[in-house]
Amino acid sequence: MRAIKKAKRIIEKDPSQPFAKFLTDLVLSLESDNEFPTRQLYELSVEDFDFALQILKEWRIDRHYMGKAKTFDAAYHAHDTGALKK
């Protein structure tokens, strides 16, 4: 199971749990491009720290693919509107 999906389940199960709160803050920070205090990572257990790093890795990969999708969408719409027709 992907870490992002697992994080969703952890948050939904009990949002008041400390690690769920941490994940909520991390995800909201990543989505909104707001700063996130990295010291919070070092306060986690080794297992939770590794899990948080996995989320960061997946988020980075997903953003790359999202960027490619947006580029494809722009190219598709430009082609569809005839902007690229000779």
User: pLDDT tens per residue, the chain (86 residues)?
Assistant: 799 999 999 999 999 999 999 999 999 999 888 899 999 999 999 999 999 999 999 988 877 676 666 666 677 767 666 655 55
pTM score? 0.74
Residues 6 or more apart whose Cβ sits within 8 Å of residue 21: 15
Distance CA 58, CA 64 (A): 10
